[in-house]
Amino acid sequence: MMKKYFFFLLFSFSVICFGQIYKTIDTADYAQRKDFIKNYSLNNELLIKDLKAKYSGKTGNELSKIYKEVGKDFEKQVKNKGFVFNSVFDAKVKNLLERLRKNNPQIPQNLKILIAKDNTPNAYCFADGTFVINMGLFNWLNNDDQLAAVISHELGHKITEHTLKTFLKLINQDQLDKLVVQSIKSTKENRNQRAFDVLKNRVYKKGTENRKQEMQADSLGYAVFKNSDFKKEEFINTLKRLEDFDTISPRTLKVETYKKFFNLPKQEFNDKWLKQEDFSLYNYNHFNDKLNKDSLKSHPEVTMRINHLKKLFPELKNEVKDEKASESYAVLEKIARMETLPNFYYAEDYGVGIYASLQFLQDGEEEKYYKSWLGKCFSKIYEARKNYNLNRYLDRVDPKNQSESYQQFLNFMWNLSLDEIKNIADYYQKES
């Protein structure tokens, strides 16, 4: 009991003192990464061997190729330090899994937890039992129950082997498409249109299958979730919370914020930096879409998913407010929030990183910490501008798909000269 009490005090102290001592989570864990990759590679080889024994001929060979490629890509991500090992998040996820497994013996025992340096609130599970939880889930969701709901949904995918079924359908569809292509080649009439129709039908069919799988994972995931000791209504609250997620925060960045943080001793603020391009004369509806965007969506609308669940499980019709976060979850939520900028930096999203830093600074959060990230991100933007590849790290203005605040920010960034960017980068790097 004394150890647990000390552990909580230690965490509480670290949260209170973030402004002075917070350091980003260390990913320089070479030995652990090497050990993980070795075990993952061996497990993937065994999986491929089992699949080839189960599925003979071309199907087995194609599955083997797919899982080898998936394995190589995942190993590359691990080598590039995209994940953290033995972090403060692991114990929480393992605890939630044990609570889910208590009355659900169908949950696999060989699940291995891995935390990804990704701000997107998402999770996924590989065929070998590697369960990946994005750090963004801790920052975006409100409590233990909601995190358990996401894990339950992914377990629904795992238990029903949705990934394997998707690969099998793709392989079968490939073989059917080859026959159709041969038929198209044998005639000269409407070749282009017929070929496009084949592509369109395939894409639509894939979207339909994916949406169906999401609904199944919701249903099975909730069945797992309600057998545990979590509050049932939080499953619906989780879906609502995820519906609100936006990669680029919709919060408005005020003009005063630009003037406060970019009026520097050796470089006064220039109002011309905020000048915006006039897009009112652009006709964005000039071209008709050849593909129906709704048919391309792989996930059904959240409202549809919620209504489907309420129809299957009447007890979910009663809506309740989100449960308050436990003390242990609040600690992890704070850490995940502090890791937002390191994660953007790791993903090379330097433009979004600057925008997020300014929003944190506007709200008066951890000024010294976020100013240091301003310096780091501006330094990368300077290098990109100097090397003529800024488009890789900074979005272009897109009035149809961006908030006015983010458009204003992008205009500001593109209006800065190379020397002006360097001056900002140097100032904030010296500050930190």
DSSP 97-146: HHHHHTT-TTS-S--EEEEES--S--EEE-TTSEEEEEHHHHHHS-SHHH
Contact 429, 290 (CB under 8 A): no
Q: For the chain, what's the residue count?
A: 432
pLDDT for 17:
44
Does the pTM exceed 0.85?
no
Alpha carbons 350 and 323: distance in angstroms, whole number = 34
Query: Which residues touch 397 (CB under 8 Å, ≥6 apart)?
Result: 277, 279, 407, 410, 411, 414
CB distance 177 to 185 below 8 Å: no
Predicted local confidence at residue 21, as pLDDT: 56
User: Is the Cβ–Cβ distance between 51 and 104 less than 8 Å?
Assistant: no
How is residue 249 written in tokens? 């925060």
Query: CA torsion angle for 374, 375, 377, 382 (degrees, to 10)?
Result: 130
For residue 56, what is the DSSP state? -
Q: Which residues pair with 115 in a beta bridge?
A: 84, 133
Alpha-carbon gap, residue 1 to 4, rounded angstroms? 5
3-class secondary-structure state, position 379: helix
> DSSP readout, 317-376?
GS--PPPPPPHHHHHHHHHHHHTHHHHHHHTT-HHHHHHHHHHHHHTT--HHHHHHHHHH
Q: What is the pLDDT of residue 297?
A: 47
Three-state secondary structure along 202-213?
HHHHHHHHHHHH
- Specify the pLDDT at position 320: 87
Nearest residue to 346 (alpha-carbon basis) of 92, 28, 38, 126 = 28
| Burial class of residue 89 in the structure, from the number of CB atoms within 10 Å of its CB (0-12 exposed, 13-18 middle, 19+ buried) | buried
Per the DSSP assignment, residues forming a β-bridge with 264 are: 267
The pLDDT assigned to 189 comes to 63
The pLDDT tens digits along the chain (432 residues) read: 333 333 333 333 334 344 455 788 877 788 889 999 999 999 999 999 999 999 988 889 989 998 999 999 999 999 998 999 888 999 999 999 999 999 999 998 888 889 999 999 999 888 888 889 999 999 999 999 999 999 999 999 998 888 888 888 877 776 666 655 555 556 666 656 655 555 555 555 566 677 788 899 999 999 999 999 999 999 999 999 988 887 777 789 999 999 999 999 999 999 999 998 765 544 444 444 444 444 434 455 888 899 999 999 999 998 888 889 999 999 999 999 999 999 999 999 999 999 999 999 999 988 999 999 999 999 999 999 999 999 999 999 988 888 999 999 999 999 999 999 999 999 999 877
Name the burial class of residue 173, with classes exposed (0-12), middle (13-18) and buried (19+) by CB atoms within 10 angstroms of its CB.
middle
Kind of pairing, strands 130-134 and 112-116? parallel
- Other CB atoms within 10 A of residue 223 CB: 16
Cβ atoms of residues 169 and 213 within 8 Å: no
What is the spatial distance between Cα 7 and Cα 91, in angstroms, rounded to a whole number?
13
Q: Which two tokens stand for residue 269?
A: 């603020």
Cα distance between residue 115 and residue 412, in whole Å: 35
Rounded CA-CA distance 227/105 in Å is 11
Q: Is 426 exposed, middle or buried (0-12, 13-18, 19+ CB in 10 A)?
A: middle
The closest of 326, 305, 324, 325 to 316, measured between CA atoms, is 305
Q: Report the SS3 class of residue 267.
A: strand
